[in-house]
Amino acid sequence: MAAIPRDASIDSTLAMLRDTYRFISKRCQFYGSDLFETRIMLRKTIYQPTLFMRGGIMPGRIEKTLFGRGGVQGLDDAAHRHRKKMLLSVMTPAQVEQLIETASREWHIAARKWASMGEVVLYDALQELLTRAACTWAGVPPREEETRLRTRQITALFDDAATLGPRHWWARLARKFAERWMSRIVAQIQTGDLTPPPTSAAHIIAGHQDLTGGFLSHRIAAVELLNVVRPTVAVAVYITFVAHALQSHPECRQKLRSGEKGYAELFAQEVRRFYPFFPFVMARARHDFDWKGYKFSRGTRVLLDLYGTNHDTRTWRAPEKFDPDRFRKWDPSLYNFIPQGGGDPAVNHRCPGERNCPN
């Protein structure tokens, strides 16, 4: 049985924080291995659902900000599949098309406003635009006077989740306020005082029954409703990357303007591959097993390198070059292009709303 290479550092937490996106791939290159063992927060840390589980693995500071307690990200097995099926039912092609139409309307309204402004901070402006669009589409449109507050709360869940100090504590507070807001909406739907469209996320989640036949608690339903709205607002990150790519690569801008068939999707996929979003995801070995001659013990904490996989030279030619044309002859795989997790979103922990990003 081959020995897993061990990092010489006593603890790699600071090294990982200094170079979060390239930490894993650099170490793998140094050791000439697809895996290595190190310590993160003084704990030993080294894909597929039969070997790994997510329950109980989420760091508290992430669970209490980005994802929320009790959400689908922390479930496994039948409970995970059942909850994921419900969330995927919110993301049908017809509903995604409705989201695109809603976002397009908000975009045109915002564009007219931006035209009269001397300067626009794109990322900030996109957050409010997408909050309006996502909440309206989900069946929970905010009142005009609360839109800015809800935007700040939802954005804090992903913008400030991994920070330290006051920003992180604001993200925790924002999570509490946002869950209270969504909990009230869920309660109103269940009592019949509020009737969102039957295909909306709010209606589907409020009426969802778990494996025991009971409704989700108001708080957990609120967590799942935020799990629909929050990632949609987070697309502001990708749109900002799109703007950067257009500015940095005028040749791509020309191709998009020409209306070349299919090029917009190639460009969007390359933005998702090239730019950093999540650096890695975490899981735990559910039982002892061997993989490619390496032994994994039950309970071992494992990080899957998302950014490194999307920049692996064995899969991607010249990965540090921005080249949308690479996707013309790309052989699709559930495991070599993983900006938002690997595997089948219906059964694995891959983001169920991923199909929204290229649109």
Instruction: Note the pLDDT of residue 215.
Output: 96
pLDDT band at 352 (very low <50, low <70, confident <90, very high): low
Residue 45 pLDDT greater than 60, yes or no:
no
Average pLDDT of every residue of the chain? 87
| Nearest CA-CA partner of 190 in 225, 143, 165, 242 | 225
More reliable by pLDDT, 45 or 165: 165
Q: Looking at 9-23, 123-137, 194-208, which range is the least confident one?
A: 9-23
Instruction: Note the pLDDT of residue 127.
Output: 98
Instruction: Note the pLDDT of residue 48.
Output: 47
Domain ranges in the chain are 1-47+278-352, 60-69+78-248
What tokens appear for 152 in the block?
């700040």
Instruction: Note the pLDDT of residue 276.
Output: 83
Q: Is the dihedral of CA 213, 219, 223, 228 positive or negative?
A: positive
pLDDT band at 105 (very low <50, low <70, confident <90, very high): very high
Give percent of the chain with pLDDT exceeding 90.
57
Amino acid at 144: E
Furthest CA-CA distance within the chain? 67
| Nearest CA-CA partner of 300 in 38, 84, 118, 32 | 38
CB-count burial class (<10 Å; 0-12, 13-18, 19+) for 213: exposed
Residue 145 pLDDT greater than 90, yes or no:
yes
Mean pLDDT of 4-12: 82
What tokens appear for 62 in the block?
């992430």
What class has domain 60-69+78-248? Answer: mainly alpha
Q: pLDDT per residue over 64-93, tens digit each?
A: 888 899 898 888 889 989 999 999 999 999
Q: Rounded to an integer, what distance in angstroms lies between the CA atom of residue 223 and that of residue 271? A: 29
From residue 113, alpha-carbon distances to 110, 118, 123, 359 in Å are 5, 11, 15, 23
Residue 36 pLDDT greater than 60, yes or no:
yes
Q: Rounded to an integer, what distance in angstroms lies between the CA atom of residue 39 and that of residue 27? A: 13
